[in-house]
């Protein structure tokens, strides 16, 4: 897409600190990192979010994450990482070109995990049933 900032990075029209590239996937450092080494992993072809991304492309992204995450951890001296994806504006997505966030974690980085809450009695089972009604067997192409 011509007005997409990540497509422009793929095309080399704006600079990025690229750490990995193959014919289908690009990984580069987030310009506003949660921690040093915060990396964005994107398909070279434009899809707006994970829902719109074909399963084969999604698999390529995960394979690259498996490949590069040990190097990122060693490169910044991290003890672990969070893998994140903001799917839709309500979830905090700002750039509508599919991307995973790989966020290195350090013992003293001060970031907290999300807090949870308890289900009410019977609520969890109802929620599971409501979700399962919408699953389509043998299909990953649940475009919303």
Query: What are the residues binding ligand AMP (CB under 6 A)?
Result: 5, 16, 30-32, 40, 86, 92-95
Partner interacting with residue 97 (select from ligand AMP, Zn ion, none; CB below 5-8 Å by kind): Zn ion
Which residue has the closest beta carbon to Zn ion?
4
Distance linking the first and last C-alpha atoms of the chain = 20
Minimum gap (Å) between residue 140 Cβ and ligand AMP: 22
Which helix (H) or strand (E) segment holds residue 82: the answer is strand 80-84
Minimum gap (Å) between residue 63 Cβ and ligand AMP: 21
- 129: left (phi > 0), else alpha (psi -120 to 50), else beta? alpha
Partner interacting with residue 86 (select from Zn ion, ligand AMP, none; CB below 5-8 Å by kind): ligand AMP
Which residues, in sequence order, are CB contacts of 86 under 8 Å at separation 6+?
92, 93, 94, 101
Q: Is the CB of 30 or the CB of 109 nearer to Zn ion? A: 30
Partner interacting with residue 94 (select from ligand AMP, Zn ion, none; CB below 5-8 Å by kind): ligand AMP
Q: How far apart are CA 112 and CA 10, in angstroms?
A: 32
Just list the catalytic residues: 99
């Amino acid at each position: 897409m011509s007005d997409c900032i990540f497509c422009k990075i793929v095309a080399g029209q704006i600079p990025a600190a690229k750490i990995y590239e193959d014919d289908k996937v690009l990984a580069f450092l987030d310009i506003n990192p949660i921690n040093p080494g915060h990396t964005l992993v994107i398909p070279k072809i434009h899809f707006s979010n994970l829902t719109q991304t074909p399963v084969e492309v999604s698999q390529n992204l995960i394979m690259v994450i498996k490949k590069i995450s040990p190097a990122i951890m060693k490169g910044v001296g991290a003890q672990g990482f969070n893998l994140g994806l903001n799917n839709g504006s309500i979830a905090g997505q700002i750039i509508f070109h599919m991307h995973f966030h790989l966020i290195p974690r350090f013992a003293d980085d001060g970031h907290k995990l999300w807090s949870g809450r308890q289900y009410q009695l019977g609520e969890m089972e109802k929620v599971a049933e409501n979700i399962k009604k919408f699953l389509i067997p043998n299909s990953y192409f649940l475009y919303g």
